[in-house]
């Protein structure tokens, strides 16, 4: 149904229905919230994912399926961790085994290229592809291969693909207009229109947004089935089609 969202708490959602009557729903009864945008009637909306940035953002894809537009942090994380400046979370430090793909040079002609490999792999600015084990990603890419470690300046690297296994995360998810898609452990919306969300990493990152920055919310992702996962059904034709001159 079409409603006007008023607030979200830890266990309920308050809306106004089409008649203007306030209605409270338990969050357990709501699968998802999708905004109604009038401009969809005039065609596709071009989302600006680079607002406030001097250049288009890079992209970090996690094995959980989360998407974090942003850039590699200039302050490296200790150990085998990746420091990322996310458009939604700010600075986050994540173990390398949580990373699935990192796009560092989004304006490169090679930005859409992904190697088919069984190990970690890097696409370089000159078009070369190197495979091995990524031991570090900061000011330099540390790639272990053939019993040696190669150090590559990060400005020579377009993207890095990791061989980490996919680990989908259920529960609640939020999609933002800046291109972020994040798994969340908490979401609250105040009557003033401020949205507070917390991630599922440890320690959990937090962010405060305006409600207009949200593109969609799913409270129980297990109840949402991607169309691409459904099998095709073949329906037999009802005999010969009658021809009318």
3-state class (DSSP) for residue 131 = strand
End-to-end CA distance of the chain: 45
Q: Tally Cβ neighbours within 10 Å of residue 47.
A: 12
**Local confidence pLDDT in tens for the 245 residues of the chain:** 788 888 888 888 888 888 888 899 898 888 888 776 544 333 333 444 444 555 789 999 999 999 999 999 999 998 889 999 999 999 999 999 999 999 999 999 999 998 887 899 999 999 999 999 999 999 999 999 888 999 999 999 999 999 999 998 888 999 999 999 999 999 998 878 888 999 998 889 999 998 888 888 998 888 777 788 888 888 777 667 666 66
Structure tokens at 115: 């190697």
How far is the C-alpha of 17 from the C-alpha of 4, rounded, in Å?
A: 7
Residue 215 token pair: 């593109």
Contact 215, 175 (CB under 8 A): yes
- Do residues 184 and 204 make contact, with C-beta atoms less than 8 angstroms apart? no
pTM, full prediction: 0.81
DSSP H or E segment with residue 95: strand 90-95
């Amino acid at each position: 149904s079409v409603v006007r969202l008023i607030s979200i708490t830890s266990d309920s959602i308050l809306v106004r229905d089409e008649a203007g009557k306030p209605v409270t729903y338990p969050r357990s009864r709501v699968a998802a919230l999708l905004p109604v945008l009038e401009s969809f009637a005039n065609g596709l909306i071009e989302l600006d994912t680079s607002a406030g940035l001097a250049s288009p953002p890079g992209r970090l894809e996690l094995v959980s399926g989360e998407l974090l537009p942003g850039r590699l942090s200039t302050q490296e994380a200790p150990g085998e961790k990746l420091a990322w400046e996310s458009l939604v979370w700010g600075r986050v430090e994540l173990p390398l085994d949580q990373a699935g793909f990192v796009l560092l040079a989004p304006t490169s002609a090679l930005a859409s290229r992904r190697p088919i490999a069984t190990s970690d792999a890097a696409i370089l600015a000159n078009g070369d592809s190197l495979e091995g084990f990524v031991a570090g990603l900061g000011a330099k890419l540390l790639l272990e291969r053939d019993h040696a470690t190669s150090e590559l300046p990060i400005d020579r690297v377009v993207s890095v693909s990791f061989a980490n296994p996919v680990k989908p995360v259920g529960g609640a998810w939020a999609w933002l207009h800046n291109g972020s898609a994040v798994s969340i452990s908490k979401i609250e919306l105040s009557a003033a229109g401020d949205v507070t969300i917390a991630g599922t990493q440890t320690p959990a990152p937090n962010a405060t947004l305006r409600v207009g920055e949200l593109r969609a919310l799913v409270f129980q992702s297990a109840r949402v089935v991607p169309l691409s996962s459904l099998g095709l059904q073949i329906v037999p034709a009802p005999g010969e089609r009658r021809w009318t001159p």
